[in-house]
Amino acid sequence: MKLKTKLNGEIFQFRNINDVLAKANEPKSGDRLQGIAASNETERVAAKIVLANLTIEDLVENPTIPYEKDEVTRVNIDGLNQPVYKKMKSMSIGELREWILDYHTTGDDLTRASRAFTGEVVAAVAKIMGSMDLVYGASKINRITRCNTEIGQPGTLSYRCQANSTTDNPETILLGVMEGISYGSGDACLGINPVEDNVDSTRRIADALYEFICKNDIPTQITVLSHITTQIDAIKKGAPLSMIFQSIAGNQLTNDNFGVNKELLHEGYKAAYEHGISSGPNLLYFETGQGSEVSVGCDCGVDEMTLEARTYGFARYFNPFMVNNVSGFIGPETIFDGKEMIRANLEDHFMGKLIGLPMGMAPCFTNHTSITMDDQQMATMLLAMAGANYYMGVPVGDDVMLAYQDTSFHDDAALRDMTNRKPAPEFHQWMIKKGLMDENGRLTDLAGDGSIFLK
């Protein structure tokens, strides 16, 4: 395994694979904060050259955090399909990039290959790709999942309706949901972030959402994003949840900080399977994003992009219904500006799809960064071209409870129109029945009038 190269008359010797992966990464403030980023562009290019000549086997056999010390590493490696891995392990990362981008390599080929890769492998190949490579490679892959309804089909684009309240007031939440649903946002799920993480609040919100969808016969999913232990308790006590949500990370140390592990996620799936209001088989919803590990001081010296890819290898094991990426949500200490946010989102979407996940995206930013709405919209449009499964739908794009900016109901409608994509099939038929959308997926004049649900 060669970790040295000569470039522009200078010899670059990297300490180990962790060092190569970190220095090959495109600029990220989280890596600079850790002190592991490339010192200049020449060193970055040298690291990419070294990385391109490493093999899939090199990266699998030398994980960034040792197998015996980290549950996420073990799940990544134990999740490999050995016949597929053995067939591909001698391929260099440069050769893997060329194969992914080859016109003759199909989405089915990439899907079959997905379990030959750990997080380190998909991070490595993404690090030597340009933005168009990331968009084109991801656009080949479709990942279809089912909870109550089915999302991810070719020609569809789905949304989570996220009408949060600063007081967990069900009436306030429902007013936002009514508007969102009337715009066609909510076919992925009605997903509410509670202010108070307790069973009573979780159940009160879920009950209100369930009464609303039953009254209007809306085909969708319900989730309330309290901690997994709260949701398990609530669903066992009768809360009408369709699936179980949890934020996860790329190493065991951060997951410990989040209060989650493999065993607890199994317990969450079991609770949704036995007590939830959906048939599945995909019953978990994960949220991720570059920088979560460094933000809590648990990065273990690994760059934030590689840690994010390891998160996807961990998520793959549980066959989730949705994975939502929120790189940009934490702040300038992890993603500094619009350029870093756009690049991180394209990387994450590609890596998640390549490793086998149903990737939804939330190109977003908090109010204390220099990221702008233009940056966010550029990322959103590029990801739509790349084939993201779903986005958020937030009233006027401004989440009043979480204090961050995301895609609005109007953005959702515009994206579908620009890409000629429709809602999930069951939801589309419901929209037609309600007179909110036509057969071609175009909104009618009724769209945007949430008061129709009050009549």
pLDDT given for residue 448 in this prediction: 94
Dihedral through CA 258, CA 259, CA 261, CA 267, nearest 10? -130
Count of beta carbons in the 10 Å neighbourhood of residue 111: 16
Count of beta carbons in the 10 Å neighbourhood of residue 440: 7
Q: What token pair was written down for 218? A: 């809306």
pLDDT given for residue 1 in this prediction: 87
Close Cβ partners of 154 (under 8 Å, ≥ 6 residues apart): 142
Write down how long the chain is: 455
- The reply to whether omega before 423 is within 30° of 0 (cis) is no
pLDDT given for residue 7 in this prediction: 94
How is residue 26 annotated by DSSP? P
419 SS3 class: helix
Give which of 343, 341, 353 is closest to 405, Cα–Cα.
341
Tell me, what amino acid is at 22?
Answer: A
| 397 phi and psi angles, rounded to 5 deg | 75, 5
pLDDT given for residue 455 in this prediction: 83
CA 290 to chain centre: 10
Q: Is the Cβ–Cβ distance between 155 and 422 less than 8 Å?
A: yes
Q: What token pair was written down for 99? A: 């194969």
Close Cβ partners of 367 (under 8 Å, ≥ 6 residues apart): 403, 404, 405
pLDDT given for residue 265 in this prediction: 98
Give which of 455, 449, 443, 385 is closest to 184, Cα–Cα.
443
Q: How far is it, in rounded angstroms, from Cα 350 to Cα 359?
A: 9
* DSSP structure string for 66-121: -GGG-HHHHHHHHTS-HHHHHHHTTSBHHHHHHHHH-TT--HHHHHHHGGG--HHH
pLDDT given for residue 328 in this prediction: 87
* DSSP structure string for 215-231: HHT----EEE-S-HHHH
Per-residue pLDDT of the chain (455 residues; tens, 9 = 90+): 899 999 999 999 999 999 999 999 999 999 999 999 999 999 999 999 999 999 999 999 999 999 999 999 999 999 999 999 999 999 999 999 999 999 999 999 999 999 999 999 999 999 999 999 999 999 999 999 999 999 999 999 999 999 999 999 999 999 999 999 999 999 999 999 999 999 999 999 999 999 999 999 999 999 999 999 999 999 999 999 999 999 999 999 999 999 999 999 999 999 999 999 998 999 999 999 999 999 999 999 999 999 999 999 999 999 999 999 999 888 999 999 999 999 999 999 999 999 999 999 999 999 888 999 999 999 999 999 999 999 999 999 999 999 899 999 999 999 999 999 999 999 999 999 999 999 999 999 999 999 999 98
